[in-house]
Amino acid sequence: MKIVTSPAKLMNVENSTDLLRSTTPKFIEDAAFIQSHLKHKSPKYLSELMEISPKLADENWERNQKWKSNPKPKESAPAMFAFTGEVYRGLDAKTLDKNAVDYLQKNYRMLSGLYGLLKPSDKVMLYRLEMGRHFEFDQYKNLYEFWTEKVTDQLNSEMKKNEILLNLASTEYGKVINRKKLNHKVIDFDFYELKDGKLKTIVVYTKHARGLVVRYCAETNAKTLNDVKAFNYEGYRINEEKSTDTKLVFTR
């Protein structure tokens, strides 16, 4: 079983761990290629591309100038610890034990607009480049055109026969996987809150729940779909009526 999530905009490269030996991302040369184009983009361009404030654009322009493919330890952190958004608050990697971290190193991958596909131990620098942004570079119209074949092929190469892929990524990031060319069954997820007798999707809770599922799989050494269906953190339970062969629905 493999698990994928989106990355996070929020990052902190001061986070580290003694449980993983840092590694170099598989697609570091591709990341350097993208950065070679991104580096020359002005703060104004970045502001418009990412729909961010001039202050954030200046900050990310500086990040682009400092970015390197082989950063020093103080400039980088393992991806699973560097990302600090809501998914990663749910995952809370820093409180996992060695067995759980080893499980994730083997089974868990993070999708990325800059790095393509990351293992938990892959060292990353501070960056911001969302997969869905209309970033044109070289002959590529967008990041999907650049990454889809690479990411899909890499997942195929890492997965064994009959393994399933748990897609806990957002729609924006999940789209980078070409399901027609992926040789494995993909399981999607929905999370609902019961409010006033109605089931509602609340984005921040959904993001948190995605991280909780990753944590649950690691802590329980989940290997089968039935193992995953038993997910019960923070009040969630499987909704068998709404779930299908390719989608698990959890409610609370």
- pLDDT (tens, 9 = 90+) of the chain, 252 residues, equals 999 999 999 999 998 888 999 999 999 999 999 999 999 999 999 999 999 999 999 999 999 999 999 999 899 999 999 999 999 999 999 999 999 999 999 999 999 999 999 999 999 999 999 999 999 999 999 999 999 999 999 999 999 999 999 999 999 999 999 999 999 999 999 999 988 889 999 999 999 999 999 999 999 999 999 999 999 999 999 999 999 999 999 999
For the entire predicted model, the pTM comes to 0.96
pLDDT value for 16: 83
Q: What is the DSSP letter of 109?
A: E
Closest CA to 43 of 32, 29, 54: 54
Q: Which 8-state DSSP code applies to residue 23?
A: B
Residue 58 pLDDT: 97
Between CA 220 and CA 223 the distance in angstroms is 9
Q: What's residue 197's pLDDT? A: 85
CA distance 44 to 32: 22
**Residue 53: other Cβ atoms inside 10 A:** 10
Distance, CA of 146 to CA of 114 (rounded, Å): 10
pLDDT at res. 179 = 97
Locate 46 and state its tokens. Answer: 């970045």
The first and second tokens of residue 48, run together, are 């418009």
Q: What is the DSSP letter of 164?
A: E
Report strand pairing: 108-112 vs 116-118: antiparallel
Q: Map out the domains of the chain as residue ranges.
A: 2-251
**What pLDDT is recorded for position 224?**
96
CA within 13 Å, CB half, 145: 11
- Give residue 15's pLDDT: 87
Comparing CA positions, the residue from 234, 211, 4, 235 lying closest to residue 91 is 211
Going by DSSP bridges, is the β-strand pair 185-195/247-251 parallel, antiparallel, or unpaired? parallel
